[in-house]
Structure 1
Amino acid sequence: MFSLRHESDRQLAARIAASLDRVGHRVSSLVPPGYQRYVRILNPVEIEIGSVVRWSDIVENGGRETSPWMQWDELAAHSDAVPGNNAQPEMGNPHPTVAEALIRVLDVDSRRYNFASWEGYSGEDGESAIEFSPMGREMVLYSGRMIDEEGTSVIPITASGRVPMYWWPDDLHWCIGQDIYARSLIIGCDLATAGKILADPDLDAYLIRETDAVPPEDF
């Protein structure tokens, strides 16, 4: 059962679509430019239902150092440090624990928020509403609340059963996005919000720059 409603009004995402850099594969190709800080948040490794391990823990257990743009294939190449029976971090589907933590640190309220998900995902039955950079992805638009009447977090879920990669409030105070093959999220935000994200123990997060190149993950 999905928690979001389809939106047909392209204007909800027109500001984002127009601002994205269409040349190259920079952070500003995936989330709008101009934020004070940019943070990359990694999907955890699920070792069993309800139990996850952060990439940083795997790297440190293997005696190596973390880096802001580390990739899953780099970790998987050192199989001795990767937990057995793990489920690889999904591409284009933020983990529910990441979504819950983001709802908490972003201090969302009961207003309606905006979301976008690639129209090519299986089960995505909304009309292609607007094209996002850098690969011309046709994105289906959604809206919904992330806190219910009792103040309980509601994980955003699309018609395809996925957590969307794009989230933003109407005022674009922050914006979350990534490409469809990514095992991580990128958020543009202010200094205070970035500090809360980096300090949250449930988020495996790293400061990045607006001008950083984003490695392709569609191996």
Structure 2
Amino acid sequence: MSSFPARSTRGNALRWGELSPQVMERSWWPQWSDVLTSTDPARLREVAEEPPMGQADSATAFTLARLLEKHTQAQSLTFLTREGYGDSPSTLNKKPRVTVPPDRVIHLHEDTLNTTVSAKIARLNRVPMYWIPEGHAWFVGADIYARSFLVGGSAVCIEAIMGCSELEAHLIKPHDTVAPED
């Protein structure tokens, strides 16, 4: 899991662990509400903007995309975006779509890795909720109300994510239960 940062009054990214190290140490699935209730009120005054809910942080997405590109040989990539997810570009209306329970329309758009994940995100002017490379070497997903990405992949891929100093990543183990984010 990779959390989206909060923003300081100066516009700098604030990692959840910087605000509340104790929450990050005791929880593999930290919640923003836990960070808020366990952070020194003086430190909270630095927070000008909470992590976005339902719109992935673009800096986090670009970093993750650059890292994941090194872990696939795929020539094509499928992105899925939920209809009504923020201001979906009108170009998505021309893309194939599927309906999933409970009556949610998901737009599918495909591209090659020649344009790169990063370029696709920039061209859409938003971060798709799901990224699936041909061959399924890894998978990225985010709930509509999420403040983080969930990433599945090989041990080498996940180790690279965990070791990336630009991401605030937390390892989720197979026996862990994924709770809805607040």
Given the two structures, how large is their TM-score scaled by the length of structure 1? Answer: 0.67
Q: Kindly report the root-mean-square deviation, in angstroms, between the aligned alpha carbons of the 2 structures.
A: 2.9
Q: CA deviation at 1:47?
A: 2.0
Are 1:68 and 2:28 matched, yes or no? yes
Q: What's the counterpart of residue 117 of structure 1?
A: 81
Are 1:86 and 2:48 matched, yes or no? yes
Are 1:46 and 2:7 matched, yes or no? yes
Q: What's the counterpart of residue 130 of structure 1?
A: 98
**Do the aligned partners of 1:115 and 1:167 also contact (CA within 8 Å) in 2?**
yes
Are 1:100 and 2:62 matched, yes or no? yes
Whole-angstrom distance in 1 between the partners of 2:7 and 2:45: 9
**Do the aligned partners of 2:23 and 2:30 also contact (CA within 8 Å) in 1?**
no
- For structure 1, list consecutive stretches of 5 or more residues without a partner in the other structure: 1-39
Comparing 51-60 and 194-203, the one that deviates more: 51-60
Q: What's the counterpart of residue 149 of structure 2?
A: 185
- For structure 2, list consecutive stretches of 5 or more residues without a partner in the other structure: none
Larger RCO (CA within 8 A; separation ≥ 6) = 1
Query: Displaced runs of 4+ in structure 1, greater than 4 A?
Result: 145-148
One-letter code of the match for 1:76? L
Q: Deviations over 1:55-112 (max 9, x none)?
A: 111112xxx2412211001112234433524211111221112112112221167943
Residue identity (%): 27
Comparing 176-185 and 46-55, the one that deviates more: 46-55
Whole-angstrom distance in 1 between the partners of 2:129 and 2:35: 23
Whole-angstrom distance in 2 between the partners of 1:118 and 1:157: 17
Q: What's the counterpart of residue 16 of structure 2?
A: 55
Q: CA deviation at 1:213?
A: 2.7
Q: What's the counterpart of residue 154 of structure 1?
A: 119
Q: Deviations over 1:157-190 (max 9, x none)?
A: 475x421120110111111012100101101100
**Do the aligned partners of 1:41 and 1:205 also contact (CA within 8 Å) in 2?**
yes
Whole-angstrom distance in 1 between the partners of 2:123 and 2:80: 9
**Do the aligned partners of 1:45 and 1:54 also contact (CA within 8 Å) in 2?**
yes
Whole-angstrom distance in 1 between the partners of 2:114 and 2:43: 37
One-letter code of the match for 2:4? N
The answer to which structure has the higher helix fraction is: 2
**Do the aligned partners of 1:176 and 1:188 also contact (CA within 8 Å) in 2?**
yes
Given the two structures, how large is their TM-score scaled by the length of structure 2? Answer: 0.79
Comparing 194-203 and 135-144, the one that deviates more: 135-144
* Matched residue SS, 2:180: coil
Alignment equivalent of 2:171, drawn from 184, 207, 214: 207
